[in-house]
Structure 1
Amino acid sequence: MKQHLRHMNALRAFEAAGRLGRMTLAADELHVTPGAISRQVRQLEDALGVVLFEGPKNRPVLTAAGKYLQPTLSAAFMQIEQAVDAMLERQHTTLDVSCLSTFTMRWLIPRLYDFHASQPDIGVRLKATDQSAATPVSRSDVAISVAQDEDEEATPADVFLFDELLGPVLAPGLADRLRLGEPADLENREILQTRTRRNAWSMWSASVGSAVRVLPGTEFEHYYFTLEAAIGGLGICIAPWHLVMDDVRAGRLTAPLGFHASGYRYVARRNGTRDEAARLFCDWLQAQAVAMPQPEPLGARAVKLASAPRSRPPSRARRAR
């Protein structure tokens, strides 16, 4: 290290005094006495062989040499502070992430272990919202929201995740009784409703070009209640693929009419805070979205069902267990 850089305390004292204009203010900022600031400034002047302040002691002003040195030191100390802050933030960062409540429960939380494993120094604090799909999610470090195709153009801070796919889902036992093979089979059927997504049926019927009339069934406060009702055999609901794919693949739900694009897309937006951590989280979200399984084409499902042996219904004694 060069000799003059050994006077780091003196450089810091001079920078504060020159920037603030008074020794007392510099002393308050650095938590020392005004006398200590004056001594440090004199030591620096002796080391450099120049006078940095002139005028009365209670109101010193910078000399030409002082005016040359002070702004350079201020910029250097600011850069050091920013580098240290960035390092501390990277080591101990907690991101505030907001998204719709059912998405949080059924898509995000089951995958978070993977992010924590790859980025153990970045915590995630989830904030669920029950706003409707067409309403922007409130601001946070990262906001995962649902946008319509005709909404405003994406910004550089937006990360596309996936297009929403909608379809009717129901419990396998109910599907065996109803034998749904085409949208017309839903005529005058009751459809389970969700208060926050009352337009789900109209969106799906528009996507398949159907004018079938259905009846409004039981309405639930949240989508996850509606999905649990469908799993329990209480009726048919229109659901997004990403919320039910695990249930469909596990056989808890079936989707006899497939899934179609709703015109909505899921987007993650960084809101300008904790940029590096937010970027890493959004990159991870996008990778998870790309790896997400897609629904089987209807033809493939029909072949599979036709070739599978029919299972007998469980006996009354077995059902009673």
Structure 2
Amino acid sequence: MKRGALPLNALRAFEATARLGRMTDAAEALGVTYSAVSRQIRGLEAQLGVALFEGPRNRLKPSREALVLLEPLTEAFDGIEEAVNRVIQDRRSTIDVSCSGTLMMRWLIPRLLGFQRAHPEIEVRLTANDGPVEFRRQRLDAAIRVGRPPWELPSAITLFEEQVGPVARPDLVRAVAGPADLTVLPRLHTRTRLSAWPDWSAAAGLSLPPGGQEYEHFYFMLEAATAGLGVAIAPRVLVQDDLDSGRLAAPFGFVDSGLAYVLLLPQDARPEVRVFGTWLRDAAGAVSLPVAGAAI
């Protein structure tokens, strides 16, 4: 079939249905009705002379012929989408950056004013996410992640090594003389890093009993600590501003966790994305992260 005769709308309907698994989901993704998707696929099947799906409507299974079409179609539509987005983004100098919600609220956003003043022609749009990075699929220009090196992506810029330690409101730890005294204080946990207290206790040579209050998100746990509800194990970069302002205290300093915060960029990153990367690296370099207080 020649390019000029390709039924592009029908191919889009088929690709979305095969990728998402249901015509209803495909219709929502394409912004059309269910009947429009169904009609397009029936027409495509008639034009190709093959059945593209098998099974009931709510559990469609692509046929063998459909699988031959699906992968190259998805790659083609991804390429078209990326090219169009790149034209739009190049015109308005907008970059999309992804990082964890806690890092975004407690470190990145408070420093973005400096970037805006230095580069008013570049708009930074933030998305809260700390999962795997797929630049093309997620429409991302850059991502900040925390993990254990090495990183698979070739363009990974280390921002800072992570250091962790117990933090609490100053009046709560004023009478605490040593790490062992933490057993008398309420301990705060987060579901996103349940090993934080055991890991720190092992590094400190302590054996702390189980127990304490658990929070769903890191940000909630840190807010509980600043409210005086207990003591939390926190990365220093997330509480640096609170330490500087006196809202939190770190009576026993911090130890290396073995993790690192890195900036991930695609290999074909646009110039304005690299400008942001350079600024972010410099901003991270300005963060003082030596071990503080009475070392363990």
In structure 1, what residue type is equivalent to 2:274?
R
In 2 relative to 1, CA 165–89 (structure 1 residues): closer, same or farther, beyond 3 Å?
A: same
Displacement of 1:298 in angstroms is 2.4
1:216 and 1:284 map into 2 onto residues whose CA distance is 42
Per-residue CA deviations over 1:241-286 (Å, capped at 9, x if unaligned) read 1111111111111111111111110000012454212211111111
1:159 alignment partner, SS class: strand
In structure 1, what residue type is equivalent to 2:101?
S
Larger radius of gyration: 1
112-121 vs 266-275, which deviates more? 266-275
2:233 and 2:208 map into 1 onto residues whose CA distance is 14
Q: Retained in 2: the 8 A contact 1:141–1:273?
A: no
In 2 relative to 1, CA 187–88 (structure 1 residues): closer, same or farther, beyond 3 Å?
A: closer
Question: Could you tell me the TM-score, scaled by structure 2's length?
Answer: 0.63
1:160 and 1:291 map into 2 onto residues whose CA distance is 14
1:281 and 1:225 map into 2 onto residues whose CA distance is 29
1:181 and 1:154 map into 2 onto residues whose CA distance is 43
In structure 1, what residue type is equivalent to 2:229?
L
1:279 and 1:156 map into 2 onto residues whose CA distance is 15
1:223-302 → structure 2 map (5 Å cutoff):
223-272=218-267, 274-294=269-289, 297-298=292-293
1:236 and 1:97 map into 2 onto residues whose CA distance is 31
2:120 and 2:197 map into 1 onto residues whose CA distance is 41
Matched, 1:172 2:167: no
1:196-207 → structure 2 map (5 Å cutoff):
196-207=192-203
Which residue number in structure 1 is paired with residue 117 of structure 2? 117
Displacement of 1:218 in angstroms is 1.4
Question: Could you tell me the TM-score, scaled by structure 1's length?
Answer: 0.59
Displacement of 1:138 in angstroms is 5.6
Q: Retained in 1: the 8 A contact 2:169–2:225?
A: yes
In structure 1, what residue type is equivalent to 2:167?
V
Task: Tell me how many residue pairs correspond in the alignment.
Answer: 209
In structure 2, what residue type is equivalent to 1:102?
T
Q: CA RMSD in A?
A: 2.7
Q: 1:191 aligns with which of 184, 187, 190?
A: 187
Identity %: 43
1:268 alignment partner, SS class: strand
Q: Retained in 2: the 8 A contact 1:187–1:212?
A: no
Displacement of 1:185 in angstroms is 1.9
Q: Retained in 2: the 8 A contact 1:163–1:264?
A: yes
Structure 2: runs of 5 or more not aligned: 1-84
Which residue number in structure 2 is paired with residue 181 of structure 1? 177
1:153 and 1:89 map into 2 onto residues whose CA distance is 27
Displacement of 1:234 in angstroms is 0.4
Q: Retained in 2: the 8 A contact 1:207–1:261?
A: no
Q: Retained in 2: the 8 A contact 1:160–1:268?
A: yes
Which residue number in structure 2 is paired with residue 98 of structure 1? 98
1:1-321 → structure 2 map (5 Å cutoff):
92-129=92-129, 131=130, 136-137=132-133, 139=135, 140-149=140-149, 152-153=150-151, 155-176=153-174, 179-187=175-183, 189-208=185-204, 210-272=205-267, 274-294=269-289, 297-298=292-293
